[in-house]
Structure 1
């Protein structure tokens, strides 16, 4: 099934003509629980990974854990609407030792499936995203990994790695992505309205408009950030959201070139401020507003993943040389 974003509740460029110059395109991925295969673009599905190629591992020291959740029991509990039991860590497998830890696959995206996904180094057309299942240091930092490959070459492999190596337990239920199929859709977006992104006078007009909406329609009125600028959830390209950190300059550590946003991974596909972005296919046409939204937790958090304290994870790449190390920014 396709997913269709409703027209914006108002014409952004009619209210703020200056934003015409800032209009951009983003591809919403619309992940929904399903049964993706290794040759599909997905979140949480099997990776297209040749059998004889080493799986990525994290060699850093990890924070020691004492208990966790078995991946198979997480999936079983989700299917029944319950909660998985916690288990003690096996003594020979507890993180915090010097043994390498296999990364967990989060998503893979084929250029053939996802409009706006740029090719990687040397024309690679498949991007695979991984996360270390454990945290690092006192601040619970995470480690991510981006692997580019040419899909045609990978698909010719005689055997594929299935299942890949994984840790016996995960530190929390939301470390395990729910297998999701994607429904890519391109939409228009406009920048985050904060200093450093848009001119001060325009931001002041947007703030005044937001205040007027609240005065007229109450606390659940439309606002620019939530309803008109950038959609929530997983998306490719477009503009970064800066809800937690405020705008940041993201430059390449190797050559100082301003980096380009490749992917945003979001824990939530909708929230109280962004229900206007919910696709038409996930609405009951006989209702209006929030009451029309269907799907419950499967719509709000279809992938079951969380990034930081419910932030967006932005993946930036260097446009001058895609072989340079990407940057992973929580905002």
Structure 2
């Protein structure tokens, strides 16, 4: 099904004309549950991986220090099947017992720090996204390639990183003749939110402007002036009158959800410039891996076709406490290492 983002509820450049040259095109991916094949663009689907090429593994270390044990991958999938079957009704006693076996409840207070649980050896990585250039407008591929594949290790790697560690691969689809039919899988995952649900995508281009935190103090003050919005004929409803800059952040700047390119959102930290570790060039946003497609503050971004949807969490991915994982690449030399951060 085609997804269509409604037009923005106001023209912010009428309020702040200096934003016009800062407009960027982002491609919203709109992942929705499906059964993608290796020849499809997808989130969490099968990859067009050559049978003769080693599958990516993460060498770790893999260690848990939380109160919950790692989850075997079959248990994650079984739990999701049970919850999906029970959607809209109460769980049966049999279903509750099955879920309790998958994730036993912790009994009693925790009086001592949890003992770290090491997982030895390398860990097979999980598919996160496969994006064909033919399907995703604005996705720039290195010469001779036409498909981007992203995988991650389903464990955090503290103290440097409290999110999955990603690996990026560009390849030519025409060169893959013998496809790996049964890729290896990790024996366990740290969180079930690190297992993307297979989804097809429906890319759509939208216009974005910088996050409020990236604007100059003068521009922020202009957007916080209710009279400026009224004078431009772009004032939102009165609920935003005390802080119209929040309307800019909610409805006019950065689109929520999974997307390619565009502007980055900030809030967990102040804006952090990303520079290539090899050549020092400013890095470009490649992909935003989002916990959800929208939340209560971003409802104007809900596609027309999803207005009756019960939730905006089709991929089942969760980054931190509901954040996004942003991937950046070097625009001058794609072979240079990418960077990633949580926001």
How does the TM-score come out when normalised to structure 1?
Answer: 0.85
The gaps in structure 2 that reach 5 residues or longer are 105-115, 230-234
Deviations 1:132-174 (A, max 9, x none): 01222356453111111111112xx23x222211123333221
Aligned to 2:317: 305
Tell me, yes or no, if the aligned pair for 2:4 and 2:304 is still in contact at 8 Å.
yes
Deviations 1:196-225 (A, max 9, x none): x32221111112349987993268987111
Matched, 1:31 2:53: no
Tell me, yes or no, if the aligned pair for 1:28 and 1:187 is still in contact at 8 Å.
yes
Aligned to 2:221: 204
The equivalent position to 1:107 in structure 2, one of 129, 154, 159, is 129
**Alpha-carbon RMSD:** 2.5
Tell me, yes or no, if the aligned pair for 1:251 and 1:257 is still in contact at 8 Å.
yes
CA distance in 2, matches of 1:97, 1:176: 18
The gaps in structure 1 that reach 5 residues or longer are 89-93, 284-293
Change (3 A) 1:105 1:87: same
Matched, 1:40 2:40: yes
Tell me, yes or no, if the aligned pair for 1:58 and 1:100 is still in contact at 8 Å.
yes
Tell me, yes or no, if the aligned pair for 1:67 and 1:87 is still in contact at 8 Å.
no
Tell me how many residue pairs correspond in the alignment.
308
Aligned to 1:320: 332
Change (3 A) 1:314 1:9: same
The equivalent position to 1:135 in structure 2, one of 124, 139, 156, is 156
Higher mean displacement: 310-319 or 106-115: 310-319
Matched, 1:68 2:40: no
Matched, 1:161 2:194: no
Change (3 A) 1:307 1:129: same
Deviation at 1:279, TM superposition (A): 0.7
Aligned to 1:290: none
Aligned 1:284-299 pairs, distance under 5 A? 294-297=308-311
Change (3 A) 1:79 1:56: same
Question: What SS is found at the alignment partner of 2:265?
Answer: coil
Larger Rg: 2
Tell me, yes or no, if the aligned pair for 1:233 and 1:267 is still in contact at 8 Å.
yes
How does the TM-score come out when normalised to structure 2?
Answer: 0.83
Aligned to 2:109: none
Matched, 1:245 2:261: no
Change (3 A) 1:220 1:72: farther
